[in-house]
């Protein structure tokens, strides 16, 4: 018999009250912890994908869209740009490196991106198997692609037209004459490369020339018409640009003026994006905060009520020799037990939520947020919750300590 | 041995009582008889140290309880006294046996589960040890309360109106058990009651 077992039995005895308090608290803790996990993982994922890329040179349109499409690969691109025009910009000595991206096809929703070895090297990718793509129709695939599709070195596949529409039944969307062959698989890098299929730019151009030659369906023809009309003028979806020195943005922007292209400043667009995203998180966190406050009030009221109900029991324990401080401790332990259970259930909830979200994001964007280990911010949340729980228990505990045994027992 | 001297108690904005000196020797039995409103419960609370007198003193086994601090008093009471109340009260969330074990836990005295079970057996309630206390009948509850009050062998057993809620048969059974148990453990027994049925059982009595 000890404080913990008595407290536990008391909580079990009024299971409904206990469940309500734990439910409220775990909900508050769960949502806040989920926000902490999401924000941390998404920002770190975004940061890893930006990794020293300063500008995105792409077709005119929404600059945020051009970042989302070309850096994170979660949106469709703004269009195509003529290689000849782009070359004039990237030859500028202010440009240290320009990684070409040409895409428009997918395999099982994974984008097939025409590029060169600068792209994977930029993210420090290493090989789990095989080698880098070299010739047209050779591909090196990201770790997620390999895991989800089961492809390995030597596997072949044909691409689908579009960015992420694997489920289409339209046979015309299928480029069945151009089989790709996997020559390598990257190790997981935590970057966007994990979810991409990389191939030389020429593959992408060849697939579409072939596609138009065979006079495929109207849908494809419409999308490819610009390419067909302007062939042999080559087109690219975007260039990821690393600058050589400060002030490059102003200079290059000037050069881009009066073309069909636009230069998006990654840092500026990204902070705009994060502000919007952060605002959403703040609103949800504020709601969770309100739930937390309610749950603390419910802990307070529940302890106070249970103390009133059990006044006679507490007086009884005093007559049997329990000191006032022991009764104080009993209520505190009960309160802390409630908070601890609430926090544990909350952390479990946030993990469950994260896994559900992760699989949803996996389907939608091939993004995973599945790091379940508690973070520093979460430890802070747990410590804060325990502390406020303690504060909420103190007043009922003091009242328990001050129970007038004689008065209580003579009224009993 | 319990001894009081010139005990007075005044309730805040309430009645005030002046009690005759109470003496109860080791292993003796004493009946304190009084009508309602004569301060019976007040006296019992003074004797057990749950209340502190306005003046006068209470001593048990040579220790003056009226000059102890609240904490000392709680501990002293837990170790030296067993109290049976008019209606038995328990910690609802605990089983019969757990309620028994609560007594040594609170007083800091050592007593094993075996002791508790034996005490329940002596009162013919051993088979209900793992039941919830509130599944027992009132008579059974009263027996558990007696078992709880005696099994850690206090030197003084106090009973506050132990029979007033019971019919004749149960009343005399409870009285019998109290007398038997206090004899068995060699403790003094003080019963406070207004129940006239008890009057003739005791020669040693104080009327308030």
Predicted ipTM of the assembly: 0.89
Instruction: Please judge whether B93 and A317 are an interchain contact, meaning their C-beta atoms are less than 8 angstroms apart.
Output: no
User: What pLDDT, in 10s, does the model give residues A81-102?
Assistant: 999 999 989 998 999 999 999 9
**Contact list, B105 vs chain A (CB under 8 Å):** 1-2, 322
Q: Which residues pair with A107 in a beta bridge?
A: A110
The tokens of A293 are what?
């406050």
Give the pairing type, strands A238-243 and A95-107.
antiparallel
Best mutation target among B12, B50, B71, B104 (most A Cβ atoms within 10 Å) is B50
Does B91 contact A at CB distance below 8 Å?
yes
Pair A110, A186: CB distance under 8 Å: no
Q: Buried (b) or exposed (e) across A170-187, using 16+ Cβ within 10 A?
A: eeebbbeebebebbbbbe
pLDDT at residue A225 in the model: 42
| Dihedral sign, Cα of residue B39, residue B41, residue B42, residue B46 | positive
> Taking CB atoms and an 8 Å limit, are B107 and A317 in contact across chains?
no
Calculate the alpha carbon distances from B48 to A49, B45, B79, B80 in Å. 76, 5, 12, 10
What is d(CA A56, CA A120) in angstroms, rounded to the nearest whole number?
A: 17
Give contacts of B90 with chain A, Cβ < 8 Å. 313, 316
Contacting residues of A for B79, CB less than 8 Å apart? 321
- Do the chains contact at B105 and A1, CB–CB below 8 Å? yes
**Residues in chain B within 8 Å Cβ distance of A410:** 41-42, 45
Any CB–CB contact under 8 A between A83 and chain B? Answer: no
Yes or no: say if A57 and A256 are a contact pair by the CB < 8 Å rule: yes
Q: Which residue bears the tokens 């002046």?
A: B18
Which chain B residues are within 8 Å of A322, Cβ to Cβ? 74, 78, 105-107
Q: Check: pTM over 0.80? Answer yes or no.
A: no
* pLDDT, tens digit (0-9, with 9 covering 90-100), for A296-334: 888 888 888 888 888 889 999 988 888 889 999 999 999
State the nearest Cα–Cα gap between A411 and chain B, in angstroms: 11
Residue A297 sits at φ, ψ, to 5 deg, of -60, -40
Q: How far apart are CA A247 and CA A44, in angstroms?
A: 27
Domains in chain B, start-ordered, CATH in brackets? 2-207 (3.40.50.300)
Shortest CA distance to A78 belongs to which of A218, A212, A225, A236? A236
Partner residue facing A319 (CB), from B70, B77, B79? B77
Q: Which of A308, A397, A405 is nearest to B70 (CA)?
A: A405
Q: What is the pLDDT along chain A (412 residues), one digit of tens a residue?
A: 788 999 999 999 989 989 988 998 998 899 889 888 888 888 888 888 888 899 999 999 999 999 999 999 988 999 999 999 999 899 989 999 999 999 988 998 899 999 999 999 999 999 999 999 999 999 999 999 999 899 999 999 988 888 766 555 555 566 666 689 999 999 998 889 999 999 999 988 888 775 444 433 434 444 444 444 444 578 999 999 999 888 888 888 888 888 899 999 999 998 888 888 788 888 888 888 898 888 888 888 888 888 888 888 999 998 888 888 999 999 999 999 999 999 999 999 999 999 998 888 877 777 777 777 888 888 999 999 999 899 989 999 999 988 888 888 876 5
Pairing of strands B29-33, B188-193: parallel
């Amino acid at each position: 018999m000890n404080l913990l077992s008595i407290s536990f039995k008391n909580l079990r005895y009024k299971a409904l009250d206990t469940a309500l308090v734990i439910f409220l608290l775990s909900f508050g803790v769960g949502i806040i912890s989920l926000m902490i996990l999401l924000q941390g993982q998404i920002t770190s994922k975004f940061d890893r994908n930006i990794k020293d890329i300063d500008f995105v040179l792409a077709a005119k349109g929404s600059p945020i869209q051009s970042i989302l499409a070309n850096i994170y690969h979660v949106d469709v691109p703004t269009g195509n740009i003529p290689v000849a025009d782009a070359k004039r910009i990237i030859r500028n000595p202010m440009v240290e490196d320009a990684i070409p991206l040409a895409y428009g096809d997918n395999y099982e929703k994974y984008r097939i991106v025409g590029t060169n070895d600068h792209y994977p090297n930029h993210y420090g990718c290493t090989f789990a198997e095989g080698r880098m793509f070299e010739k047209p129709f050779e591909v090196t695939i990201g770790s997620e692609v390999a895991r989800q599709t089961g492809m390995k070195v030597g596997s072949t596949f044909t691409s689908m037209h579009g960015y992420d529409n694997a489920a289409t039944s339209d046979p015309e969307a299928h480029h069945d004459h151009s089989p790709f062959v996997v020559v390598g698989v990257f190790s997981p890098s935590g970057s966007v490369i994990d979810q991409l299929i990389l191939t030389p730019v020429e593959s992408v151009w060849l697939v579409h020339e072939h596609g138009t030659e065979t006079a495929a369906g109207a849908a494809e023809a419409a999308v490819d018409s610009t390419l067909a009309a302007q062939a042999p003028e080559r087109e690219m979806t975007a260039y990821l640009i690393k600058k050589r020195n400060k002030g490059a943005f102003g200079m290059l922007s000037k050069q881009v003026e009066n073309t069909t292209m636009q230069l998006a400043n990654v840092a500026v667009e990204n902070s705009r994006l994060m502000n919007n995203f952060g605002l959403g998180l703040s609103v949800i966190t504020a709601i969770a905060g309100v739930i937390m406050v309610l749950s603390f009030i419910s802990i307070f009221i529940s302890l106070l009520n249970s103390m009133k109900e059990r006044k006679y029991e507490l007086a009884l324990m005093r007559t049997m020799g329990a000191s006032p401080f022991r009764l104080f401790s009993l209520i505190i332990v009960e309160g802390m037990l409630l908070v601890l259970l609430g926090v544990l259930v909350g952390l479990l909830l946030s993990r469950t939520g994260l896994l559900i979200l992760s699989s949803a994001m996996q389907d939608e964007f091939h993004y995973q947020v599945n790091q379940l280990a508690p973070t520093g911010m979460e430890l802070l949340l747990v410590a804060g919750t325990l502390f406020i729980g303690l504060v909420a228990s103190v007043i009922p505990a003091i009242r328990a300590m001050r129970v007038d045994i004689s008065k209580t027992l003579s009224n009993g | 041995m319990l001894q009081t001297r010139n005990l007075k108690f005044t309730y805040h904005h309430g009645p005030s009582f002046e009690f005759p000196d109470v003496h109860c020797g080791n292993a003796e039995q004493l009946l304190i008889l009084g009508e309602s409103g004569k301060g019976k419960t007040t006296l019992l609370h003074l004797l057990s140290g749950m209340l502190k007198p306005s003046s006068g003193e209470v001593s048990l086994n040579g220790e003056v309880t009226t000059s102890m601090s609240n904490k000392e008093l709680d501990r002293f009471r837990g170790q030296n006294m067993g109290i049976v109340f008019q209606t038995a009260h328990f910690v609802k969330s605990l089983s019969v046996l757990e309620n028994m074990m609560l007594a040594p836990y609170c007083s800091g005295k050592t007593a094993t589960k075996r002791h508790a079970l034996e005490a329940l057996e002596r009162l013919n309630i051993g088979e209900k040890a793992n039941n919830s206390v509130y599944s027992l009948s009132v008579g059974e509850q009263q027996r558990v309360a007696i078992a709880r009050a005696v099994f850690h062998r206090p030197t003084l057993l106090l009973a506050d109106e132990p029979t007033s809620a019971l019919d004749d048969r149960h009343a005399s059974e409870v009285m019998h058990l109290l007398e038997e148990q206090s004899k068995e453990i060699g403790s003094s027994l003080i019963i406070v009651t207004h129940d006239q049925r008890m009057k003739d059982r005791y020669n040693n009595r104080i009327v308030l």
